[in-house]
Amino acid sequence: MHMKYKKWFKRKNSLTASFVLLVQRLLRARSCSRGQPELQEPKAGLQHVAVAVCHRTAAGGLRPIPGPIVLLKKGIFRGGCDKGICSKCGRLLYKAMKYNAVDTNPLSMYVMQHLWNRIVKIVPLWIAPNLLTFSGFLLLLINYFVLCFYDWDYTASGSELIPNWVWWFAAFSTFSAYALDSIDGKHARRTQSSSPLGELFDHGLDSWATSLFTLSWFSVCVSPVDSPGFSEHKMFLLLSIILLNFMLSHWEKYNTGVLFLPWGYDLSQVMLVGGYLLTAIVGVEIWHKPLVFGYYAPSVTLALVIACSIFLSLPQTMYNIYTAYQKKTLKKDSLYEALLPLVSPTLLFSLLTIWVTLSPCDILIKQPRLFLFMVGVAFSSVACRVIICQMSNTRSESFHSLLFPLALVVFAAVTGLLGKLEESAFMAFTALLTLAHVHYGVCVGRQLSQHLNIYIFSMKKRAQE
């Protein structure tokens, strides 16, 4: 088994493969003793152990080996060393690590947390926390597909084509997903089943769910014929801003080690649920009438999102990073290392903007729902890599492999090489991208669950090999 993963790692050279290979080494090290002193266990209460490998330099100092740090369960390794590492004068350094998040949102602290504390007590103890997370995500997907069926091209808003029960279901699914995402961590601590896999599973699905929340809401307030509202380009702009705000939170944790939960999350979820309920009771026409001073709800929404991003989210992120710099607690030593996670998202949205602007067949106008869905999947694929790096305190990759085929498709489209095949090429790229992203998530989940000896959707422990 170890040789199989080792060969695979050399061939693929991927972040996930290095996770698996290093875990294998550490587990095999339990049977190897080379005279090194036994290492201390982490302090009580800490959830995970991060393991780093260092080599002794010629001057006698230690330098870290480039590569990921592996997250392990508490107490899985007590001492000794790995034969392969010892042959290179290696040393294992243990650092205590725990999930570190800060929530200062008054709505969350004084209202929602009390509700979640009551709801989590209803959940049976035999239900796995990841099952709660995945159930909420599935509800979002079902709601999104229902809206796709009735409003594929975002033209049914304001008409009788969308039944009223769809908005009731949208409110139910949105609130359920919000609640399940909020109580999964509480349930994990309640059942003492917290794990790195759960954290990665939660944040990875959040990176995809963020776009699903937004795309579903567009069916409410998109522009019907001859009335103000969200145009296709405004939808693309709004979705891009929301996704970049999500990336800012994890980029902040990548540099500070602390996830400062954004204020906008709880507020946006409550507003979405309230908006769906209002639509179900009053009718979708309410969103196509002027609110105040002749401004319509879509325009007000876009202005609020842009204002909150510029004057709230970005300044708060920079302040937290500056505070960590003043306290000398930054995880990265150089500006280059600190900015690496932003390279791929910046290139991604730059390529997508070029495609939207210069597309000969106006791909966003022709396929608005599918194009925006592709944007969400592509972003989630990039964000998941950043999340793994910030969890394991490793260096982020400079360029996501997704960017190369995307750049080729965009170049062929805007230069006219694809001609009438642009729409077909776009659909094929979207399908392959979605399959690749799902495959990546399944592989990471299975590999981590095997090496942590846990099941993803069950509280049972795996049998020790």
High-pLDDT (> 70) share of the chain, %: 76
CB 436 within 8 A of CB 192: no
Q: How far apart are CA 179 and CA 133, in angstroms?
A: 9
- pLDDT at residue 5 tops 90: no
275's CB contacts (< 8 A; 6+ apart) are 217, 220
Q: How high is the pLDDT of residue 98?
A: 59
Burial call 324-343: b when 16+ CB within 10 Å, e when fewer? beeeeebbbeeeeebebbbb
Which range, 68-77, 363-372, 396-405, has the best average confidence (pLDDT)? 363-372
Q: How far apart are CA 421 and CA 67, in angstroms?
A: 41
Based on the number of CB atoms within 10 Å of its own CB, is 125 exposed (0-12), middle (13-18) or buried (19 or more)? exposed
Q: What DSSP state is assigned to residue 43?
A: P
CB 396 within 8 A of CB 384: no
121's CB contacts (< 8 A; 6+ apart) are none
DSSP β-bridge partners for residue 48: 73, 97
Q: How far apart are CA 381 and CA 404, in angstroms?
A: 14
428's CB contacts (< 8 A; 6+ apart) are none
Q: What is the pLDDT of residues 77-132, one digit of tens each?
A: 223 333 222 322 222 222 334 578 888 889 999 999 999 999 999 999 999 999 99
Strands 101-102 and 259-260: parallel
386's CB contacts (< 8 A; 6+ apart) are 247, 250, 251, 254, 341, 344, 396
Q: What is the pLDDT of residues 20-32, one digit of tens each?
A: 454 455 445 433 4
Q: What is the pLDDT of residues 324-383, one digit of tens each?
A: 999 999 988 889 999 999 999 999 999 999 999 999 999 999 999 999 999 999 999 999
- pLDDT at residue 228 tops 80: no
DSSP 175-208: HHHHHHHHHHHHHHHHTT---HHHHHHHHHHHHH
First vs last C-alpha separation in the chain: 11
Q: How high is the pLDDT of residue 20?
A: 46
| 141 confidence band (pLDDT: 50, 70, 90) | very high
Q: How far apart are CA 66 and CA 151, in angstroms?
A: 49
Triad 293, 294, 297: Cα angle to 5°: 105
CB 265 within 8 A of CB 242: no
| 290 confidence band (pLDDT: 50, 70, 90) | confident
